[in-house]
Chains A and B, each alone.
Chain A
Amino acid sequence: MDLFDRLLRAPALAILAGVFVVSPPATLRAQGLPSVAAEPPIEQAWDSLLSDVIPQAPADKALTVPQPAPRRGSIDDFKNHFFFQGQTEYIRVETSFSGRPTPTGVINEPRGENADPDGIPAPEAFQPNSDHLYTFFNWGTRGWLSERVNTNFSFRYRQNLSQLEIGSPSLNVLNTFGSNRRLEMLSAFAEIRDLTPRGPLANSTLQVGRQYVYGAEPASLDGASLTLRQRFYTLTLFGGRRFTFYSNPDQRAMGGANLALRLTRSASLEYQTLYYIQGSHVVNFRKRFEPNWLLRARYKMVGGSPVDLGANVAYSTPDGRSVVRLGFFQKLSDKDFFYDYTLAARDLDSFNRLPRLYLGPIPPYSQVSASGSREVASRLRLGGAVVVRRLNDDADQDAFAASFEDYRVNAQVFPVGRIELLLEYHRRNVDRASPLGAMDFDDVSRSGETLVQDFSGEIRRAFGEGKLILSGGAFYRRMDLQNKYFFIEGERVFGFLGSVRYRMRHGASLYVDYSLDEDFLLYRPSIQRSHVLRVGGRWRY
């Protein structure tokens, strides 16, 4: 009797199972086979076969080849088990200015003793260019010294090579640190598999060190996680000290668990929880119906409050050429936790005098979505999606939350040879109440976008069996906005992207990325356009 059978004894679960469990496997129905209820289970059949040493299946000499013992311990062995991957890029940002003052009247003139009739001189707001460095390293070992031990270390190094003044268009988070540089250890853990040769820890993994665990919330911690994989379940327990690069939270300790139950071969139930100031709990249910239908349902609680409820079903045709997804999502309350992580944790960093970035709670809403993609021909794939969101209560509308209808269509075309063309159109109609009724000075509940349209296209071509890849693209965004002072229609931003990638031997590649953005004319009249050039290399051993 498997676990699912045992669970079915509970009446409440039996009702749930009745909803999800389907009729006999497709192959049985297709072949019109008689019921197999009276047959011995396949497990017993194999017991019988394998214990009798079936004469029809003698030991196959081809399978009894000697097994060479793996080499261990030598330096050569270390090289064989060592991996290294890295990426380094130089970034050049250039900003060209229109010559006009900013909306606040700031002009690109040196400060003088007397007031300037043209505006407020502040040349630091017109710093035209900046240079940056970004490096990411990931290295470790797989099976060195012991087949059961892996290690993984990853670091990120970023630096502003230019001295950026407060007010520069290129200011970034590095400027909030004294040296304008950051070396961050993203992960550093040792992983030990199969803690014991048999028993409950036989198929387990213990990770110790700095790591990320994704479950109810993304958890970054210095600590340990233990994963047990058994036939019917996978359980991960984790706990440790939260690490963060940008704040100094009062509370550090966090812990949680992820449990995945395999109810049947085609169904699983997952429970994920994280305790950090409050408890966050997620229940996921997945079931594959027939071979081509997949149902996923999700329920989330924060503390004692229900937060999210959602379900989606995906269907892919047997040939894999078409995929359709239908989804329903209900935001049950505004008790979200993730976005106010720092606020809940009380930030003690003296640099962070503002308590938070405040976008307000996400009010309850209902949302339905439908999306699909189809490989119409070998050289054409089409896709589209519709999302409709409705606030449960119109009075909950605010500057960052409103009802909307969102549409997306895209195409992937291979017109000639190895040219790949990607096209997408996206439109969002946001249903906002008229801002004219907002009377209070700080009432911004009706401010925001009313229409957003995005057009994007990308073309890519590979040469020399993928050794050289050229790509280029463009995007255009058009927006209508409103607040109690203005109705702004047709504000737009557009830009271009281009990249060259050259793949060398031994896992190394070079790349050059370029992007140009033409800014919103009304928002940043002083900035005309921005260019970013990235030159970098990736390599792995």
Chain B
Amino acid sequence: MRGSIALLLLSLIAGSVAIAQDAPAERLPEAADFFIHEFHATQLELDCSVCHLPTEEDSVVMARPGHDQCILCHEENYESDLTPQFCGQCHAEFPPSSNEDLLPFPFFKKQRAILFDFSHAQHVDPNARADAKTGFRADCTYCHQFDEEGIFAKFPGHVQCSGCHSKEAIAPNLTPVSDTPDCRGCHVPEEIENPGYTEDRRMIAAHVVSGVYVDLKFSHVAHFKARDAYSLDCTTCHYAVPTSTGLADLTLPKMLDCVECHDADKGLAAEFQMSNCSTCHIDAQTGVVPASHSRTVKPVFHTESFRFDHEERASELGAKCYVCHTNVTPSTTAENQCISCHQVMRPANHTARWSDAMHGKQAALDRTTCASCHTADTCVRCHNQLPRSHVPLPQFAAGAHAPLAMIEERACYTCHTFENTCGACHQR
């Protein structure tokens, strides 16, 4: 077995140039075509616990494999055949001088969360209990603890998971001696280390894991200070979390969510308004605020068809129409506030000739749409008024109505019946 591994590694390094032991340390290229977990865990079917041991006795925190674990199989390499490709699986330099040049895992695209997927919906406290010490949701702050400055909400590790998963009844079970089936309850390392493993998977972005954003600064604690004044809770911004069942529907707060307070709330000091770029940006720009930073930007799903089917979206619990549509108040569902928008937003087909000539044909085609906004008394009121076509009435009644009645005969019967009008002169 050991021989075959050694042979495989030798084949991977075939053609490489041997480096003298006393040569200066060389920066190695990132390994790109050898996936260490895919080989060891999938092909060789090694148990995770062979390489991943607790950092200390009875701890659920697993250490990164060290030389003691590698040497179990790769003894030959350590004795006589250290190569850049072998050491380069973990070290950035060759020959390695210490553990300070250890490469992050996984190699590609900076630091990543090593979770395959996660359902917040399965994990959040259904009672949403608040932590008495902080007033924030205890379940959020239990798992996502903050750095010392209170800026970055850290990702939970095995310590937090073990609060529940160390109990025997809860699978996957996390203990100092957990083995592969339990590990794979949460982790699929082949997925994480290989960018081509599957085409459609979604991964947590590097800046989310590290909290290091490009040209953006954000402090959780700054928002906690305004908790009472603005009725803030974790889910005020992270509203997608309680119902998220996987990474696919786990969305971070968007710019529009910031806008909700920073563009609209007059109680916010000017320095925190959206127009002050340096509130959020390190490299503060001056000038006009980008359109994406204001309520005028149109969301992607506001397509042409949205004009017809937006009622369905607006009636969903938790619809956020109010973020942009300032006439809609957040305390009541958008569905109950149709009139708020439709007083200032006319349907596009209500053009110049709409009230005179065109609305009737639309009503004939689809009158239920009219009833979304209008009750019949609106129509009745206008239709009690003498239409333009009936002027002057004596001549119209005397016979001038005939050509129009022949062209648009059904229009007559929207107001008249044969019995009360036509029958006076005509016979069926």
Contacts and interface: CB of A to CB of B under 8 A. Distances in A.
B382 A172 contact: yes
B300 A410 contact: no
Contacts of B142: 49-50, 54, 57
Interface stretch (B4-12, B46-54, B63-71, B390-398): B390-398
B15 interface: no
A186 B344 CA distance: 13
Contacts of B179: none
A40 interface: yes
B376 A340 contact: yes
B224 A65 contact: yes
A146 interface: no
B331 A104 contact: no
Contacts of B235: none
Contacts of B303: 373, 381, 383, 410, 412
Given A357-B383, A465-B288, A385 B305 contact: yes
B210 interface: no
A530 B267 contact: no
Contacts of B358: 493, 517
A88 to B, nearest CB: 11
Given A26-B246, A354-B415, A493-B353, A63 B127 contact: no
- Tell me whether chain B's interface is mostly helix, strand or loop, or mixed: loop
Nearest to B382: A173
A343 interface: yes
Given A57-B160, A244-B377, A340-B376, A62 B148 contact: yes
A291 B163 contact: no
Interface residues of B, number: 141
B281 interface: no
Contact of A515 (B139, B164, B326, B352): B352
A60 interface: yes
Contact of A45 (B149, B164, B231): B164
A224 B184 CA distance: 56
A244 B375 contact: yes
Contacts of A49: 142, 163-164
A214 B338 contact: yes
Contacts of A175: 385
A150 B395 contact: no
A49 B327 CA distance: 43
Interface string A422-456: 10100010000000000011101001110010000
Contacts of A200: none
Nearest to A399: B410
Using C-beta atoms within 8 Å of the partner chain, give the interface range for chain A: 35 or more
Interface string A517-529: 1011011100000
Interface string B280-297: 000000001111001011
A291 B246 contact: yes
B156 to A, nearest CB: 10
A436 to B, nearest CB: 14
A33 B171 contact: yes
Contacts of A39: 169-171
Interface string A20-39: 00000111001111101011
Nearest to B265: A80
Interface stretch (B75-83, B252-260, B401-409): B401-409
A78 to B, nearest CB: 11
A230 interface: no
Given A62-B146, A247-B381, A465-B290, A27 B119 contact: yes
Contacts of B248: 291, 318
A483 B136 CA distance: 69
B380 A247 contact: yes
Interface string A100-117: 001111100000000000
Contact of B353 (A79, A147, A517): A517
Contact of B343 (A156, A213, A412, A523): A156
A57 B266 contact: no
A380 B92 CA distance: 44
Nearest to B158: A56
Interface stretch (B35-43, B95-103, B105-113, B420-428): B420-428
Interface in A324-346: 325, 338-343
Contact of A540 (B125, B170, B326): B326
Contacts of B55: none
Contacts of A479: 361
B126 A43 contact: yes
B377 A347 contact: yes
Contacts of A411: 304
Interface string B5-38: 0000000000000000000000000000000000
Contacts of B409: 444, 447, 483-485
B185 A33 contact: yes
Of B136, B231, B363, B414, the most chain A CB neighbours within 10 A belong to B414
Contacts of B365: 428, 449, 452
A126 B380 CA distance: 24
A191 B46 CA distance: 64
Most chain B CB within 10 A, of A43, A354, A410, A540, is at A354
A56 B160 contact: yes
Interface in A186-219: 186-187, 191, 193, 205, 207, 212-214, 218
Contacts of B356: 169-171, 530
B351 A205 contact: no
A125 B185 CA distance: 79
B236 interface: no
Nearest to A104: B400
Interface in B292-313: 294, 296-297, 300-301, 303-305, 309, 312
Given A103-B407, A120-B395, A444 B413 contact: yes
15 contacts: A25-B122, A42-B123, A43-B126, A63-B134, A150-B329, A173-B381, A191-B332, A246-B380, A291-B246, A339-B367, A357-B380, A357-B414, A362-B368, A399-B364, A466-B290
A-B residue pairs, 9 tightest by C-beta = A62-B150, A466-B291, A167-B391, A399-B410, A247-B377, A63-B134, A246-B381, A442-B418, A517-B353
